[in-house]
Amino acid sequence: MNEVAQQITQQVPDTFNGMFIGYSVFWIGIALYVVFLGIKLKHLEKRK
Amino acid sequence: MSQPSIPNTNPFKSELFTVATVLVAAWITYAMHLVFTVVPNEVTMGAVQRIFYFHVGSAFATYAAAFCMLIGSLGFLALKQNHLDSLQLAAAEVGLLFCSLVLITGMIWGQFAWNLAFSFREPRLVSTLVLWLLFVALVALRKFADREQAPAFCAVLGILGAIMVPVVVFSVKLLSPIAQLHPVVVEHGGLREATFRTTFWVANGAVVSMGLLFIWIRHRIALLEIRSNEQNI
């Protein structure tokens, strides 16, 4: 890695945790809604 | 007014559902590939800036849900048909989901990028919170109001919720860009790099299509619930 590239890499803040938490929350929210839809459908099929 | 026939089929078993789900899943996989392996880290914020792609996508999905909610609400008030009320119900629920995701991912992004999760001085944040509260009120009203009266009440509240969307969109113009933290990326000519732009639009399209798929499924489930209730009476 040349000197300029090394300087740029050092300047970029390490915010990987934020990205990881953000995407985890996003996909957990989506997954919970899909489960909610599945439960609703199961209840309806039982009522039939 | 005659009611259109309600389908008596499980929406998860139709061929159209399978095709739509596969397409949306492929689109989202491609968007995730672009977000995590193609676009480089933003220099000032680092990796957390990648939240941006799905955060804005969730905002667009919220607006799409609010638009469906408006159609359902106006349609129900004019025609009094069950399927329009079901569309309103489905759109309000999906709108609540994506509006919650916008707020949470935005707070995480803000906390890591600017050390500030939420501020009541930010017009975009406060107006989004108001929109979220309207979605919460709609879902709560549907749950606890009288079954006969709920559709009309929800339709009126749904129209108010949809009116809130332009307020959210244009709220960033209330203060000068220097006075607020929320970035106005597209309007200010940001995303000059082609890879940033492509990823932005692909991710937006993927999240909006997922939101529309959810509205469609929830709409079908709501119609099945109506049919089931009618059979049990």
The complex's ipTM works out to 0.89
Identify the pLDDT of residue B94.
98
What is the average per-residue pLDDT within B54-75? 97
Contact across the interface for B47 and A8, Cβ inside 8 Å: no
Best residue in A4, A14, A15 to probe B by mutation, most B CBs within 10 Å? A15
Average pLDDT of every residue of chain B: 89
| DSSP state for residue B148 in the 8-state scheme | T
Instruction: Examine the pLDDT at B148 and tell me if it is beyond 90.
Output: no
pLDDT band at residue B77 using 50, 70 and 90 as cut-offs: very high
What is the average per-residue pLDDT within B13-23? 90
What is the average per-residue pLDDT within A44-48? 80
Burial tier of B24 (Cβ tally within 10 Å: 0-12, 13-18, 19+): buried
Identify the pLDDT of residue B56.
95
Identify the pLDDT of residue B12.
72
Pair B203, B191: CB distance under 8 Å: no
**Which residues of A, range 10-39, sit inside 8 Å of B by Cβ?**
11-19, 21-23, 25-26, 29-30, 33, 37
Identify the pLDDT of residue A4.
61
* CA distance, residue B54 to nearest chain A CA (Å): 8
At B159, the amino acid letter reads I
Spatial distance between the Cα atoms of B87 and B70, rounded to a whole number of angstroms: 9
Spatial distance between the Cα atoms of B168 and B73, rounded to a whole number of angstroms: 20
Identify the pLDDT of residue B81.
93
Burial B44-78 (b: 16+ CB within 10 A, else e): ebbbbbbbbbbbbbbbbbbbbbbebbbebbbbbbe
> What string of DSSP letters covers B34-99?
IIIIISPPBTTTBGGGGHHHHHHHHHHHHHHHHHHHHHHHHHHHHH--HHHHHHHHHHHHHHHHHH
> How much is the pTM?
0.89
CA of A39: which chain B residue's CA is closest?
B221
Instruction: Examine the pLDDT at B192 and tell me if it is beyond 90.
Output: no
Query: In this prediction, what percent of chain B has a pLDDT beyond 90?
Result: 66
Burial B135-159 (b: 16+ CB within 10 A, else e): bebbbebbeeeeeeebbeebbebbb
Instruction: Examine the pLDDT at B7 and tell me if it is beyond 80.
Output: no
What is the average per-residue pLDDT within B153-168? 95
At B129, the amino acid letter reads L
Who among A16, A26, A41 is closest to B105 (CB)? Answer: A26
**pLDDT 10s digits, B45-60:** 888 889 999 999 999 9
Spatial distance between the Cα atoms of B16 and B9, rounded to a whole number of angstroms: 12
Pair B57, B203: CB distance under 8 Å: yes
Instruction: Examine the pLDDT at A10 and tell me if it is beyond 80.
Output: no
Identify the pLDDT of residue A20.
95
